[in-house]
Amino acid sequence: MSVITHKGIITKAVGGNYDVVTSDGVICCTARGIFRKNKISPCVGDNVTVETDESSQPVITDIGERKNHIIRPPLSNLDCALIVVSAAEPAPNAYVTDKLISIFESKEIEPILVITKNDIYSCEEFADIYRSSGFKVIYSDESGRGHDEVIAAVSGKLSALVGNSGVGKSSLMNRIFPELKFDTAQISKKLGRGRHTTRSAELYALPCGGYIADTPGFSTVEVSRYGYVDKSQLQYTFREFSEYIGRCRYNDCVHLKETGCAVTEAVNSGKISRSRYNSYVRMYEESKELNEWDFKQ
Q: Which is nearer to ligand GTP, 111 or 166 (CB)?
A: 166
Write the interaction track for ligand GTP spanning residues 56-75; mark x where CB under 6 A is met and - where it is not: --------------------
Largest CA distance in the chain: 73
Q: How many CB atoms lie within 10 A of CB 41?
A: 15
β-bridge mates for residue 68, sequence order: none
Whole-number minimum distance, CB 264 to ligand GTP, in Å?
A: 36
Site for ligand GTP contains 204 (CB under 6 A): no
**One character per residue 157-196, x = contact with Mg ion (rule: CB under 5 A):** ------------xx--------------------------
**Binding partner selected for residue 20 from ligand GTP, Mg ion, Zn ion, none, CB under the kind-specific 5 to 8 Å limit:** none
Q: How wide is the angle at C-alpha 92 spanned by C-alphas 88 and 96, nearest 5°?
A: 150
Looking only at the bridges linking them, the beta strands covering 211-214 and 202-205 are antiparallel
Contact pattern for ligand GTP over residues 114 through 133, marking x by CB under 6 A: --xx-xx-------------
Q: Shortest gap between Cβ of 262 and Zn ion (angstroms)?
A: 6
CA distance 103 to 279: 13
C-beta separation of 71 from 225 below 8 A = no
Quickly list H helices, the chain: 34-37, 94-106, 124-132, 147-154, 169-176, 187-193, 231-234, 262-268, 274-287
One of 102, 170, 235, 279 touching ligand GTP (CB under 6 A) = 170
* Among positions 198, 237, 264, 273, the unique one binding ligand GTP when judged by CB under 6 A: 198
Alpha-carbon torsion angle 35, 67, 163, 99, nearest 10: 110
Which among 15, 19, 83 is positioned nearest to 46, based on CA atoms?
A: 19
Residues linked to residue 62 through DSSP beta bridges, in sequence order: 49
Site for Mg ion in 231-290 (CB under 5 A): none
Pairing of the two strands 137-139 and 110-116: parallel
Interface segment toward ligand GTP; rule CB under 6 A; list 4-12, 20-28, 192-200, 257-265: 192-200
Residue 263: contacted member of Zn ion, ligand GTP, Mg ion, none (CB under 5 to 8 Å, by partner type) = Zn ion
Q: 167 or 266: whose CB is closer to ligand GTP?
A: 167
Is residue 215 involved in binding Mg ion (CB under 5 A)?
no
Q: What residue is closest to ligand GTP based on CB?
A: 217
In the list Mg ion, ligand GTP, Zn ion, none, the entry touching 248 (Cβ below 5 to 8 angstroms by class) is Zn ion
State the DSSP string of 81-102: EEEEEESSSSPP-HHHHHHHHH
Q: Choose between 195 and 274: whose C-beta lies nearer to ligand GTP.
A: 195
Quick one: which H or E segment has residue 13? strand 4-14
Residue nearer to Zn ion on the CB measure, 31 or 253: 253
| Partner whose footprint covers residue 253, from Mg ion, ligand GTP, Zn ion, none (CB < 5 to 8 Å by kind) | Zn ion
Burial of 244 (0-12, 13-18, 19+ CB in 10 A): buried
- Quote the least distance from Cβ 218 to Mg ion, whole Å: 11
Residues that bind Mg ion (CB under 5 A): 169-170, 197-198
Residues that bind ligand GTP (CB under 6 A): 116-117, 119-120, 141-142, 165-171, 184-186, 190, 196-198, 216-217
